[in-house]
Structure 1
């Protein structure tokens, strides 16, 4: 039996993924605890994986929907504060809990810092797209296409340099705590474990990668109730499911344009705005069903197309059901997810700026008329279903702790 600490940012999708990993570890006879910033425990749902908050100021987990450059800098500043708080308050907590290994979210470098500080084995976890460096792959927050040519490699290097500048506040926090903890070698700015990364992607969805650092096991999912979709497709009217996730569901104007495009095409439309619209705002959307929350996986079993912000969890759910996507990415790794959808032929991507009803209508019509999109989605979906998900990820983590020097090829067997 090993006691794992799971360190991730206090965001809904990340907590859900780490809880699924923790529950899979518990099922294998281990103990797991979520270590979160102040306010993050409110997101916890698991009875078997307790969530413990560190000390800190209220508002560590606050959400905002700032757009453009202002939103990027605000997001990076918040991330730096969360990292600093974890490094300041979590070392003693990990000792009190008797933690023996850490699963560290790639977007929260404090996990790697804490593991190295306490000389614990740790494994990186990519709840979003993996950030493991590969010269042929653009940074995940850019929607650039895959281009392994010399020109593409040069472009990617430039993108990485710009990203390092943007992430300056968090990188400075990481360097400072590396010095405070007296860690040898370079600061773990990417939070990458020397043993590899557990990823919610599958190889058939990602861009082609070199090396074997990534264990692409598919989405981390826990046990879920079987929901019935409140709206279903008909032979006469295909069904579109639209959701922009828990941070972007306030996009009233975009939802209205999607609804108008579906009306012109004679499609049924269900929208989940995740509680970010008022009842009065939701009533102005001309869709057959508009709700705070809908059972996403149940809806996608019925849907013919998913309109999404290109959040990785939503896209993986859609592809698992064989549903092609119309991606409208806003921030974080969403442009990279959208680029992979296009590269693999399982969807189309549109920029949210200057998004017109005509563009949405044209894209939806193309996704429905060309069976190649659904075929590509089904191919990826088959890999997702056979990837092993959180159960396989837990088995890999278990082996890492038992024999941390074991070669990655043996762990993949």
Structure 2
């Protein structure tokens, strides 16, 4: 089998595909990672072939735009950025799918993969990392920008709501998508956020205790649990381990690997540590965001594998990306989520409902709010709840289950609903 794993985004989007590719390679399959050029080295280190979908310059332009993290402007910004890439990505993927026993595994945002599936009949699985992207009337996800459906809304309003979301998607990206489809002699897509999930198979890389399946979810969807992958041969830096073990466990602060606009957040983090007497570890690839000099009780680290780091930490303050959320759940680490955009508000709401953390709104990111929330997170009841959830989260590696589903799809491409 030749598996082509297609995705865009930052570490949280790409790492699950690299991890899945590694599992498939261990099972003897040929694997190609189709991803931003910035992940070529990581893919090759995992033994995967590589196909660039986005250039380094395009990645830099995306990360430099502060609208990427705006609750309302982010969708428009990404559509403007990614729409022109669809024809080029279609051609790149089409060159790779030639040959027998080929299967596509794609992030739903790689629209070219779904076009390829329809045009060439390539068996395709959508790898869905987060439940917040599922347009459910039964259990509507928490949406950014205050656009969440009220719990009291009747069924007809919920249907109109999702129709409106699809109309917005049509304006933002589906018009460009349909122009390209027309050049291939294909009919236009009407409801983007239903179409972008493969009718063959949707793999939910999260467990049912995190997001209970709903009657209106796609019938071809299978939940496999969280995937465990922190990078190829990633080790916790020795100085970071020493810092974590030298005194009371520190609090980790991060807004994700792609965030280059977090100076205010890190200033508040350092001040909150001073106010509470806690130690802090600031994770960012962009150290120019950090206040200087840092106090001795606070350290900076560019990158650390969460599954080695978080068991050594007392709490975590983060943006609510699903990969970060899952790693903290597995480690039994209390979480304070400060969601920005995308699926982050939905993950934050789930963490609060489970009793393993708290969430702060956009106007609650001050030193005082963070300090008070951190004090609440260390309460014995929260710590005990985190430990009980960690026992659930550590039962299985979803990447192993996902690999089996991909293998089955390749063997039964006509009705590959595993």
Please report the TM-score for the alignment, with normalisation by the length of structure 2: 0.84
Q: Does 1:306 align with 2:316?
A: yes
Counterpart mapping for 1:12-411 below 5 A = 12-36=11-35, 41=40, 44=43, 46-53=45-52, 59-62=57-60, 63-67=63-67, 68=70, 69-95=72-98, 100-129=102-131, 131-139=133-141, 141-142=143-144, 149-151=152-154, 154=157, 157-158=160-161, 161-162=164-165, 164-165=167-168, 168-183=171-186, 186=189, 189-190=192-193, 191-206=196-211, 209-210=214-215, 211=217, 213-221=221-229, 224-227=233-236, 229-232=241-244, 237-274=248-285, 276-278=286-288, 281-286=290-295, 287-369=297-379, 371-404=380-413, 408=417, 411=418
In structure 2, the CA distance between the partners of 1:406 and 1:116, relative to structure 1 (3 Å rule), is closer
Offset at residue 60 of structure 1 (A)? 3.0
In 2, the alpha carbon distance for the partners of 1:74 and 1:144 equals 18
Q: 5+ residue gaps in structure 2?
A: none
Deviation at residue 244 of structure 1 after TM alignment: 1.1
**Distance apart, 1:357 and its partner CA:** 1.2
Structure 2 Cα separation of the partners of residues 11 and 374 of structure 1: 30
> Residue 145 of structure 1 contacts residue 339 of structure 1 at CA under 8 Å; is this kept in 2?
no
CA distance change for structure 1 residues 33 and 170 in 2, over 3 Å: closer, same or farther? same
Structure 1's consecutive aligned runs of 4 or more residues displaced over 6 angstroms after TM superposition are 143-147
Gaps of 5+ in 1: none
Give 1:224 deviation, angstroms.
4.1
Secondary structure in 2 matching 1:205: coil
Preserved CA contact (<8 Å) 2:337 2:357:
yes
Moved more, 8-17 or 145-154: 145-154
For these two proteins, the number of residue pairs brought into alignment is: 402
Are residues 397 and 244 of structure 1, via their aligned partners in 2, closer, same or farther at CA, if it must alter by over 3 Å? same
Q: Secondary structure at the match of 1:32?
A: strand
- In structure 1, C-alpha distance between the alignment counterparts of 2:234 and 2:94, rounded to whole Å: 37
Q: TM-score w.r.t. structure 1 length?
A: 0.85
CA RMSD of aligned residues (A): 3.1
Cα deviation, 1:134-192, whole Å, max 9, x if unaligned, reads 21333564377796644488368536624641563321232233333344685683421
Cα deviation for residue 320 of structure 1 reads 0.5
The structure richer in helix per residue is 2
